[in-house]
Amino acid sequence: MKNKEELKSFIAGLLPFATLIEGKQYLEVLVPADKWHEAAQKLKDNNKIPFDYLVSLAAVDFVTKFSVVCHLESTDTHDFIVVRVDIEDHEKPQIETVSDVWVTAEYHEREAFDLFGIRFKHHPDLRRLFLEEGYGFPLRKDFKDEINIIELSN
C-alpha cells in the first residue's frame, strides 16, 4: 500500500489532464468527459499500479449535470481511488463506455442507462436492465411516477 502523497503524484503523472482532490476517505480523481476512455485505459494498463478491479460504477443526478463515479482498486497494491466524470448535458447525457476496459462495467453501465438514461457510446449491448422500454428513468430527480403516487414530504 502506497501512502497518499505517492499515489497522488503517480496519478498526477499518469493523468495530467485530471484534477485531484484529497478526499476524506480516498483520493478523488476528476476526469474531463472527453478524456474518460483514455484515462480508464491508462489507469488499468499501467505497470506500476494497475487498477484492474472496478468495484462499482454509479451514476448521480445533480439536477444540472450527471456524474459517473467509479471506485477502483488495484489487486496488486490494494490502492483504492474514486474516479469521477461529469456529464454537463442534462438533456441528452452521453459518455464513452469503459466496458472494453473492465468487462463488469458493461452491466453497471446498463444499470445506469436503465435508471438514469445515460447513453454509453460504443456499448456492446445497451438495453434496459430491470425495467421495460419506455418506462422513464426513475432515479432522475425530476421523475414523476404517474401510477404509484406516494408523495413523501421532506
Partner 1 sequence: MSEEVTKNIIVRDDEDYIINMGPQHPSTHGVLRLEVCLNGETVKYVIPHIGYIHRAIEKMSESDTYKQIIHLTDRMDYLSAHMNNEAVCLAVENALEIEVPKRVQYIRVVLDELTRLASHHLWWSAFGMDLGALTAFFYGMRDREKILAIFEESFGSRLLHSFNTPGGLMHDVHPDFQKHTMEFVRYFRKKLPEYKQLLTDNVIFHNRTQGIGKMSRETAIAFGVTGPSGRGSGFACDVRKVAPYGLYKEIDFNEILYDEGDSFARYLVRMDEMEESLNILEQVTDNIPEGDYTAKMKSIVKLPEGEYFQRVETARGELGIYIVSDGKKFPYRIKFRSPNFSNLFVLNTLAKGGLIADLVAISGSLDLVIPDIDR
Residues that bind partner 1 (CB under 8 A): 23-26, 28, 52-56, 58, 60-61, 69, 71, 73, 75, 78, 80, 82, 102-104, 106-107, 111, 115, 124-125, 129-131, 138-139, 152, 154
As a whole number of angstroms, the distance between CA 99 and CA 124 comes to: 8
Give the Cα separation of 24 and 82 in Å (integer): 11
Q: How far is the CB of 84 from partner 1 (least distance, A)?
A: 9
Cell of 79: 490502492
Measure the CA–CA gap between 31 and 154, rounded to whole angstroms.
34
Q: Which is nearer to partner 1, 31 or 82 (CB)?
A: 82
CB closer to partner 1, 3 vs 16: 3
Between 16 and 146, name the residue whose CB sits nearer to partner 1. Answer: 146
Q: What is the DSSP code (8-state) at residue 117?
A: -
CA 132 to chain centre: 23
Q: Minimum CB separation from partner 1 for residue 138, in Å?
A: 6
Nearer to partner 1 (CB atom), residue 16 or residue 134 = 134
**Could you tell me the smallest distance in angstroms from the CB atom of residue 89 to partner 1?**
19
Grid coordinates standing for 65?
A: 449535470
User: 59: which 3 cell numbers?
Assistant: 451514476
